[in-house]
């Protein structure tokens, strides 16, 4: 598979540079330091070769949404990279996922958190995690509801193996980026409320994707998860298979 498969004019390195500039500008506009925002390059659906191009351009943190796909890709790449799971984690995949991922952004229920905690203990690990909150109350999405995270917070904080970094959200899809802003604000305000109640610091806000990460940064994002703007537009697996078959 050739590099630049579906990239029209620009290379992954150029795209990364452009995204970094936009992150720095958005941070500065929001009165924050560019270094306050971590760029997670979302490499889901793209082959290891694309990741290698990004690594050559200085990127070290990558996001994947499927455990199996990541487990196939990770051994093809340098060991120094940091892998983040950003997609729903099925209960039967926890044991395989834990050693592979440095960070799990998608802890979306107390039951999953308890299972991750128990298996982390078995494996001798202390995973960094984000609690995914469905602030848009979008029926199609995973995540704690605002009510359930309030109710479950104490039980979550009792799980000694989990290093809870903060909250994560995926707003309902809308081509108009500004529509995501209220969801980012809601996540930040919820975080502030939970910190006040528990006294536990929750500095991380994992929010913002290609379409809306500048807005997320203005609203306090500490991690943005960007795929399309770095690697190009993803095709469905079926479309790619049809293309490869000619
Ligand atoms: C795919 C994905 C992203 C990246 O989306 P882009 O629009 O390609 O930047 C970010 N977060 C999650 C949870 C995703 O599944």
To 10 degrees, the CA torsion angle through 34, 102, 15, 176? -80
Q: State residue 110 phi and psi, 5-degree precision.
A: -65, -40
Q: How far is the CA of 208 from the centre of ligand 1 (A)?
A: 8
Q: How far is the CA of 150 from the centre of ligand 1 (A)?
A: 26
Q: What is residue 138's predicted lDDT score, i.e. its pLDDT?
A: 85
Cα gap 129→62, rounded to integer Å: 15
Block residue for tokens 């694309």: 50
- For residue range 14-23, list pLDDT tens digits in order: 999 999 999 9
Tokens of 188: 């930040």
**What global pTM score does this model have?**
0.93
Closest among 160, 177, 181 to 169, alpha carbons compared: 181
Q: How far is the CA of 209 from the centre of ligand 1 (A)?
A: 6
Judge whether 231 and 209 are in contact, CB under 8 Å: no
Closest among 91, 50, 102 to 223, alpha carbons compared: 102
Cα gap 204→164, rounded to integer Å: 9
Q: How far is CA 148 from CA 59, 76, 134, 136, 152, in A?
A: 36, 39, 10, 14, 6
Q: How far is the CA of 76 from the centre of ligand 1 (A)?
A: 22
Residues with CB under 6 A from ligand 1: 42, 44, 65, 86-87, 170, 209-211, 225-228
Question: Hey, whose CA ends up nearest to atom 7 of ligand 1?
Answer: 210
242 pLDDT band, cuts 50/70/90, is confident
Task: Among 6, 18, 22, 42, name the best residue to mutate to test ligand 1's pocket (greatest count of ligand atoms within 8 A of Cβ).
Answer: 42
Q: How far is the CA of 207 from the centre of ligand 1 (A)?
A: 10
Task: Among 46, 69, 86, name the best residue to mutate to test ligand 1's pocket (greatest count of ligand atoms within 8 A of Cβ).
Answer: 86
Cα gap 98→24, rounded to integer Å: 32
Cα gap 62→12, rounded to integer Å: 14
Average pLDDT over the chain, rounded to an integer: 94
Does 7 score more than 70 pLDDT? no
Does 58 score more than 70 pLDDT? yes
The pairing of strands 223-226 and 103-107 is: unpaired
Does 132 score more than 80 pLDDT? yes
């Amino acid at each position: 598979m050739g590099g630049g498969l579906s990239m029209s004019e620009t290379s992954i390195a150029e795209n990364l540079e452009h995204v970094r500039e936009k992150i720095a500008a958005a941070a500065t506009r929001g009165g924050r330091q560019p270094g306050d925002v971590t760029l997670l390059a979302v490499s889901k659906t793209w082959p290891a070769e694309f990741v290698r191009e990004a690594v050559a351009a200085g990127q070290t943190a990558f996001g994947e949404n499927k455990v199996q796909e990541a487990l196939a890709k990770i051994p093809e790449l340098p060991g120094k990279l940091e892998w983040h799971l950003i997609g729903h984690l099925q209960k039967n995949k926890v044991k395989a996922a834990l050693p592979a991922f440095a960070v799990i952004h998608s802890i979306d229920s107390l039951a999953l958190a308890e299972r991750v905690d128990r298996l982390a203990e078995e494996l001798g690990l202390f995973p960094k995690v984000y609690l995914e909150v469905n602030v848009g109350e979008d029926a199609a999405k995973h995540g704690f509801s605002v009510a359930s995270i309030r109710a479950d917070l104490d039980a979550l904080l009792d799980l000694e193996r989990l290093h809870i970094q903060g909250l994560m959200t995926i707003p309902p899809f809308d081509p108009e980026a500004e529509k995501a802003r209220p969801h980012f604000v809601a996540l930040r305000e919820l975080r502030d409320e939970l910190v006040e109640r528990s006294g536990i610091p929750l500095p991380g806000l994992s929010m913002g994707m290609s379409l809306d990460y500048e807005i997320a940064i203005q609203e306090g994002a500490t991690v943005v998860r960007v795929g399309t703007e770095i690697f190009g537009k993803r095709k469905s697996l079926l479309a790619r298979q049809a293309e490869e078959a000619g």
